[in-house]
Amino acid sequence: MNNPDAYYQRSEVSNSDLTALKELLHPRPVFGDREAAFRFGSIVDAIITEPSRVDFLHMTIDGEPVNEDEFLHAREMQRALRAEARHDPFLAKVLQCAETQRYMVNKAQEFENGGFQFTLDTRCKWDWWLDAPHFGGDLKTCAAATQKEFEDAVDFFDWDRSRAWYMDIAKSDKDFIYAISKKNCNIFKLFINRGDAIYSRGREKYEDLAFKYWCFAL
C-alpha cells in the first residue's frame, strides 16, 4: 500500500531518513516480517487518522484492496482506541480536535555535535497536532502486551528519538504516544516533556545520527 501524499517525496531530512542511515551503519537482525508489520501499521494509521482515504464498505485504501483479516483487525484496534477515549478525557480531546497528518518543515535547522555546529533542512509529519497548546503526538501499533513491554519498545525502536525530533522541529515542549497492542488491543500511553529522560535520550540519539547524515551528505 503506497501513500500518495507528496510529503514522502520531499527532500528535507526526516526521522525515517535517520533510521535508514542507522540501519546502514549498524545493521542488526530483523525479527518477524518487517514489511508486513509496516503495511499493517499503515492500514491502522489510515483508518484512524486519514479515514477519507478509506472505503470501509469495500475494504480499500486509496482504491487498493486490503487483506480482509488485516482490515478487520485494524478496525478492532480502532474500536479499542475509541473505547479508551470514553474514560481518557485527553485522548477524547485528541480524537475530536487534533489536526491529523500535519507536516512541518524547518529550513537550515541548527544542530551541534561536540561543539561543532551545522544545519540541515528537516521535516516531520504528525499523526496528531493540537494547534492551540502547540504540541502533538504519535499513534503506534506494537507487539507489546504490557506497559513495560511498550516502554521497552520505545527505546528499542527509537520512538524516543522520533518524538524529540518532532518536538524540536515544532519547538514544542510536550509530546505523547498512544500505542495499540496487536496482541490484545490494550492501549498504552506515554507523555513526554522537554528536558525529561525520554526527550533527552531521544535528542542524544538524533544529534548523533544528524551529524553522521550531514557528513555523508558532504
Under DSSP, the state recorded for 99 is B
- What are the tens digits of pLDDT across the range 51-103? 999 999 999 999 999 999 999 999 999 999 999 999 999 999 999 999 999 99
C-alpha cell of 46? 489510515
Under DSSP, the state recorded for 146 is S
Q: Are 181 and 142 in contact (CB under 8 A)?
A: yes
Residue 1 confidence (pLDDT) above 70: no
- What are the tens digits of pLDDT across the range 2-54? 555 778 889 999 999 999 999 999 888 776 678 888 999 999 999 999 999 99
In whole angstroms, give the CA distance from residue 25 to residue 29: 13
In whole angstroms, give the CA distance from residue 127 to residue 140: 9
In whole angstroms, give the CA distance from residue 113 to residue 187: 37
- What are the tens digits of pLDDT across the range 168-193? 999 999 999 999 999 999 999 999 99
The per-residue b/e assignment along 156-183, b for 16 or more CB within 10 angstroms, e otherwise, is eebbbbbbbbbbbbbebebbbbbbbbbe
With 0-12 / 13-18 / 19 or more C-beta atoms within 10 angstroms meaning exposed / middle / buried, residue 190 is buried
The H or E element spanning position 192 is strand 187-193
CA distance to 67, 124, 172, 176, per residue, from 39 (Å): 10, 20, 29, 23
How many helices, marked H, and strands, marked E, lie in the chain? 7, 9
Question: Among all chains, which residue has been given the C-alpha cell 507489546?
Answer: 144
Would you say the pTM of this structure is higher than 0.85?
A: yes
Under DSSP, the state recorded for 52 is G
Residue 149 confidence (pLDDT) above 90: yes
Phi, psi of 147 (to 5 degrees): -60, -40
In whole angstroms, give the CA distance from residue 98 to residue 113: 34
